Amino acid sequence: MYLTPEEEKTLDGEYGRSLQKAIEILVALGDIYGADKLIPVKSAQIAGVSYKTIGDAGLEWISDLEGKVKIPSILNPAGMDIVRWDEMGIDPVFAKKQQEIIEAYAKLGIQTKCTCTPYYLEGFNVTLDDHIAWSESSAVSYANSVIGARTNREGGPSALSAALVGKTANYGYHLDEMREPVVTVEVDCELSGSDFGALGYVAGKTIGSRVPIFYMKNKPSKNEMKSLGAALAASGAVALYHIEDVTPEAVRNKFARPDEVIPVERTQIDEVYETNKDIQSSEIITVGCPHCSVEELEEIAGLVEGKKLQKEMWVCTAREVAERHPDLVQRIEKSGAKVVCDTCMVVSPATNKYESITVNSGKALAYVPSMCKVAAKYARIEDCIKEAGVVDEN
Amino acid sequence: MKIKCRTISRGVAEGEVLLTNDAISFLGNVEPETGEVVEPQHQLYGQSIAGKVLVFPHGKGSTVGSYVIYQLFKNGVAPAAMINLESEPIVAVGAIISEVPLVDRLEKDPYKILKNGDMVVVNSTEAFVELRNE
């Protein structure tokens, strides 16, 4: 792997131990995956935030690092809402450790915004062909597929290394040839809203870690593509997908249609809505996986207007998005729903205490049963709100 | 005898060889307090990897395994060095942050030329492994 004289100096420790370790990680990964060089990246999103995942060892490692990140950098979702953790029923010992982790990242110059949707935040807008180093699987999928930017699915230490060095190794999805579709997914019906999450949940299992191209009967919105990508990355390990005539690279590159075809029919989508249908009434309703966009918050605010919810309902979003729209937060919370920031139903230990949950996310449906040991039902957003036990205020 | 190899995590260390044909998931297979292999199905079950030159095909399992290697290092029970057939990111990252020399792709098959108890030097900085028995 070629290194510039400056990179060689970093590797030899001339700029201190933390930077030396960081570039050593990038070079080792580059060697393992056959990269030719390091390339600059525009921003980084760093995994390894929840205390539940990285424990004391991770905290110790991050605390031991010195220096400052060279590019705009933020964090994956944490295990709790950083402000309202108490209301979520989080153990104070966990909360203290979680705060320590976030403070350790802040010391390195990382913005302590914890979200799976960095693309909604100021300073993290990316465009076609930008190179970035992001971690969270749905964010990676959205950046690669919907935006046409380029990132591998970084692990915690490699994303942090990329942030400190301002570069990453040039392999995988940074390269043109790795971005071409190798399998066709043919969808035989029109889809809307949470159908796209169901599609990702169904198709991801067969696609595995390959790059698919979808042939659809109708064009999805960006929010719908967000749900599709998140589910594809959870039920499979898809980091990049294309949609014929829709996603930017499919439009520009006019990919040849791969011979292998995975057909998806309406009945398969409908079956996802039947998951755990014997559960009469679930204990909690959670939406916002991935974190809600402004449009999604508006839709929910409209749906709960003038209503009182009888059950616990979380609407998960990025703190910055919530802070920019206090009016929407207020309208949603008036119904009794909670606008939860920095975290979600998948990564927070607060989910574990429930027996059953209703979600409108294919990603949550894939992860909540195994990671939180909670039985999950799948529903459209309107039905999620009905499930929350609506009582008309008027 | 010196054997050429590929550098993954730089450094120099000497120790006694501990070989296994099984891949290692540091999260779950190894106790971070003691360095003992605690997975009953593992070939090294009941043995300690602390201070050893650990020879295994490659890592597997959760990426949290990288931090477990760091925990072993912090507790003073990390391996002295590691030799893989083919390194993957979990062990590579764990070795680098823990300053454990790691090499892979030895010029000769490590399972044919090394045995348990051999004294070896792993010089990852200069990309060789030296057998010190004689």
Q: Measure A155 CA to nearest chain B CA, in Å.
A: 7
Taking the Cβ of residue A381 and every Cβ of chain B, the question of whether any pair is shorter than 8 Å is answered with no
DSSP string, B88-106: -HHHHHHHHHTT--EEE--
> ω before A290 within 30° of 0 (cis)?
yes
Of B24, B2, B9, B37, the closest CA to residue B104 belongs to: B9
Distance CA A352, CA A283 (A): 12
| Mean pLDDT, 10 residues at a time, chain A of 394 residues | 97 95 95 95 94 85 94 96 95 96 98 97 96 96 98 93 98 97 98 98 95 98 98 94 98 97 98 94 96 98 95 97 98 97 93 96 93 94 94 70
- Residue A394: its pLDDT value, please? 58
Distance CA A158, CA A374 (A): 31
Residue contact A25–B66, C-beta within 8 A: no
Distance CA B9, CA B78 (A): 14
Residues of B in contact with A55 (CB under 8 A): 64, 67, 71
Taking the Cβ of residue B93 and every Cβ of chain A, the question of whether any pair is shorter than 8 Å is answered with yes
Residues of A in contact with B61 (CB under 8 A): none
Beta strands in chain A (DSSP E): 38-40, 44-46, 73-75, 167-169, 183-187, 212-215, 242-243, 261-264, 284-292, 307-309, 312-317, 338-341, 356-359, 375-378, 390-392
What type of residue sits at position A361?
Answer: S
Of B88, B49, B133, B59, the closest CA to residue A33 belongs to: B88
- Asked whether the beta carbons of A239 and A140 are under 8 A apart, the reply is yes
pLDDT in tens, B36-51: 999 999 999 999 999 9
Distance CA A308, CA A277 (A): 24
Residues of A in contact with B82 (CB under 8 A): none
In A, minimum Cα distance to B7 occurs at A28
The Cβ-side half-sphere exposure at A338, using a 13 Å CA radius, reads 20
Residue contact A155–B93, C-beta within 8 A: yes
- Residue B32: CB atoms within 10 A of its CB come to 22
- Residue B134: its pLDDT value, please? 57
> Rounded to whole angstroms, what are the CA distances from A345 to A226, A237, B113?
17, 20, 51
Domains recognised in chain B with CATH numbers: 2-131 (3.50.30.10)
- Residue A393: its pLDDT value, please? 66
Percent helix, strand and coil across chain A, each to the nearest 5: 45, 15, 40
Residue contact A155–B64, C-beta within 8 A: no
- Pick from B9, B71, B74: which is nearest to A28 by CB? B9
If you ran DSSP here, which 8-state letter would residue A144 be given? I
Residues of A in contact with B7 (CB under 8 A): 31
Taking the Cβ of residue B88 and every Cβ of chain A, the question of whether any pair is shorter than 8 Å is answered with yes
Bridge partners, A104 (sequence order): none
Residue contact A156–B92, C-beta within 8 A: no
Taking the Cβ of residue B84 and every Cβ of chain A, the question of whether any pair is shorter than 8 Å is answered with no
Domains recognised in chain A with CATH numbers: 5-176 (3.30.499), 180-272 (3.40.1060.10), 284-392 (3.30.499.10)
Bridge partners, A139 (sequence order): none
Q: Measure A313 CA to nearest chain B CA, in Å.
A: 31
If you ran DSSP here, which 8-state letter would residue A320 be given? H
pLDDT in tens, A204-236: 999 999 999 999 999 999 999 999 999 999 999
Extract the tokens encoding A148: 């046409």
Extract the tokens encoding B72: 């072993």
- Residue A183: its pLDDT value, please? 98
Catalytic residue IDs of B: 62
Q: Which residues, at least 6 apart from A234, have a Cβ–Cβ distance to it below 8 Å? A: A137, A138, A200, A201, A204, A362, A363, A366, A367
In the stretch 44-63 of chain B, residues with CB closer than 8 A to chain A read: 63
Taking the Cβ of residue A89 and every Cβ of chain B, the question of whether any pair is shorter than 8 Å is answered with no
Pairing between β-strand B6-9 and β-strand B102-104 as defined by DSSP bridges:
antiparallel
Residue contact A61–B97, C-beta within 8 A: yes
In A, minimum Cα distance to B74 occurs at A57
Residue contact A158–B89, C-beta within 8 A: yes
Residue contact B92–A61, C-beta within 8 A: no
Query: What three-state secondary structure class fits A204?
Result: helix
Taking the Cβ of residue A58 and every Cβ of chain B, the question of whether any pair is shorter than 8 Å is answered with yes
Q: Measure A26 CA to nearest chain B CA, in Å.
A: 9
In A, minimum Cα distance to B75 occurs at A57
Of A222, A212, A24, the closest CA to residue A142 belongs to: A222
Taking the Cβ of residue B35 and every Cβ of chain A, the question of whether any pair is shorter than 8 Å is answered with no
Taking the Cβ of residue A256 and every Cβ of chain B, the question of whether any pair is shorter than 8 Å is answered with no
